[in-house]
Structure 1
């Protein structure tokens, strides 16, 4: 019996097919949605339940004016190697909620709507202020939050404490903030230097002032609630703090704005950032802390790293590499 080759079989099958009418042109019958799905991610830290909810994207524009004391050629090379555009910088905003079983703690509030649509758009672009919607999608109502721990008093971290009318968004919450940041960012005398200082001070005054009878001053090395410890990390602002969240034998450090970009300021931690109050101190703090996290294999959550901001840093060359955690991992240790 002759053996048929593959080409003969294909030709025979094609000849056996019935004649079909000419193909109709393809038509897109469904409109583009142009909407993002709810963005939240839940995982465990020991016995604590943690939820990351997105406030949306934060565009910074071209990187060269923002990341200072750096070589443009080296910056372009780093971005290209990471398959990132060289003419635009977009950060994420990853809000974290930790349920300890006794307390429901929100870290940072996103951009919010307190300063009105135009100022909010100028400060953060059109894709931010989504935190409340994403918290509700994750089953968390703002009324349930009993503590808002603010890493620092910049617009994308505290402007969501009140709404445009000045009403508390988290009516049952205390607000933890460093005394240094509270004094600095509510002082009209600091409306000098870069143009952003005036709206930053006005926004901090409006948002933090509404909770003046509910403010808790955080201290370096002290717990804000059992299992959550504030750690001073100055430089980005005078009172910037990160928070170590520990349950059982597991710890995740919410690093706030220790490093804004997962390539540029991780590979080159001594590069400076134009929104830092003290860029050189910030670079020293960043390098020291990233070195500790790498050496101790400490899990971190970064506010501005790619969604959902969870992972580790590893020592690599003169800097570090960002190793994101798989999002299907429910426990991060």
Structure 2
């Protein structure tokens, strides 16, 4: 559409609006603005399993440059603008998976929660919606048998306890890698970036509440029937993806393998500010993305646009994100 055509279209729309308001029937805006979002949950079949994705809310990063400190700012802006995204405000989603195997109800990651008071809102007021959205989907926290953590960062494990340090999932075991458990509960790791102190304190508070219920995750071994851990270290020392298999269907829960569906797919070797080992993280990301694209495996990404389901396809030196249709009843 040319600039002239756009002007004509906008002018015509304005004229129509004026005609409607100045005619015999005055224009009214009697309905109030709601200023609220509906519950965010999405349910589908994965083989014989039932899967439900619940949102913990949006996680705004703000200006993207601090989150991608080694990336050329002009290239950041160009990639975002080409994808019709604001170049000055990067936003991530938080897509938590609940898997009903018929024998267990398994939650993957817990969102930001409320355990750390004001620090739980360090990325703004839109996080911490997991429990509300779970209940809207008909699932109570008492029903969760196992919480599987992709890693022990704040937006993945701080929802394990409430503000008083009480278990939010009183009947659940918690699966986490031994490497992450040791790293994120070690006070010696509070040094470095400013966020490290509160990240360690939050992990200690949340994980220690389940110290008698911890299950250690091991690479290429099951944490539950049909759920196999895949080590992808770098974002944290013990970050894992999880391959979920039921019948002839497979889906990979990629956790924080890639945070942004444009920037870290098109540029998989770019570094992310919250990576413990940025270079190792980029290597793990590149290796797993190649596997997902080659094997054409569907995936769930924790931070990609809601509800985070889709495929990655090769595009030059990087990848494209191909979201799955929202009306799907199963994921093939």
Whether these two folds match at TM > 0.5 is yes
The Cα of 1:253 is off from its aligned counterpart by 0.4
Alpha-carbon distance in 2 for matches of 1:292, 1:121: 35
The Cα of 1:125 is off from its aligned counterpart by 1.0
The Cα of 1:69 is off from its aligned counterpart by 2.0
Give the 3-state SS of the residue equivalent to 2:66 in structure 1: coil
The Cα of 1:72 is off from its aligned counterpart by 1.4
Greater fraction of residues in helix: 2
Give the 3-state SS of the residue equivalent to 1:112 in structure 2: coil
Matched, 1:332 2:323: no
Q: Trace 1:36-185 onto structure 2 (pairs within 5 A).
A: 36-116=37-117, 118-122=118-122, 124-185=123-184
Q: How big is the alpha-carbon RMSD for the aligned residues of Structure 1 and Structure 2?
A: 1.0
Alpha-carbon distance in 1 for matches of 2:45, 2:265: 26
Alpha-carbon distance in 2 for matches of 1:243, 1:251: 10
Give the 3-state SS of the residue equivalent to 2:283 in structure 1: helix
The Cα of 1:23 is off from its aligned counterpart by 3.2
Partner of 2:30: 29
- Over residues 204-254 of structure 1, what are the superposed CA-to-partner deviations in whole Å (9 max), with x where a residue is unaligned? 000000000000000001101110011111000000011100001111000
Alpha-carbon distance in 2 for matches of 1:330, 1:97: 16
Partner of 2:274: 275
Give the 3-state SS of the residue equivalent to 1:259 in structure 2: coil
Give the 3-state SS of the residue equivalent to 2:156 in structure 1: helix
The Cα of 1:120 is off from its aligned counterpart by 1.3
- Over residues 138-170 of structure 1, what are the superposed CA-to-partner deviations in whole Å (9 max), with x where a residue is unaligned? 111100000000000000000000000111000
Partner of 2:14: none
- 8 Å CA contact 1:68, 1:271 repeated in 2: no
The Cα of 1:26 is off from its aligned counterpart by 2.4
Partner of 1:12: none
Runs of 4+ displaced beyond 4 Å:
none
Q: Which has the larger radius of gyration?
A: 1
- Over residues 156-196 of structure 1, what are the superposed CA-to-partner deviations in whole Å (9 max), with x where a residue is unaligned? 00000000011100000000000000000001110111000
The Cα of 1:53 is off from its aligned counterpart by 0.3
- Over residues 33-87 of structure 1, what are the superposed CA-to-partner deviations in whole Å (9 max), with x where a residue is unaligned? 1111000000111101000000000011111111132111111111111000000
Structure 1 unaligned runs (5+)? 1-20
Give the 3-state SS of the residue equivalent to 1:65 in structure 2: helix
Partner of 1:7: none
- 8 Å CA contact 1:151, 1:177 repeated in 2: yes
Alpha-carbon distance in 2 for matches of 1:22, 1:133: 46
Structure 2 unaligned runs (5+)? 1-21
Kindly tell me the number of residue pairs found equivalent between the two proteins.
311
Matched, 1:222 2:221: yes
Alpha-carbon distance in 2 for matches of 1:206, 1:228: 27
Give the 3-state SS of the residue equivalent to 1:255 in structure 2: strand
Alpha-carbon distance in 2 for matches of 1:322, 1:221: 26
Give the 3-state SS of the residue equivalent to 1:68 in structure 2: coil
- 8 Å CA contact 1:38, 1:137 repeated in 2: yes
- 8 Å CA contact 1:142, 1:169 repeated in 2: yes
Alpha-carbon distance in 2 for matches of 1:24, 1:328: 39
Give the 3-state SS of the residue equivalent to 2:116 in structure 1: coil
Give the 3-state SS of the residue equivalent to 2:169 in structure 1: coil
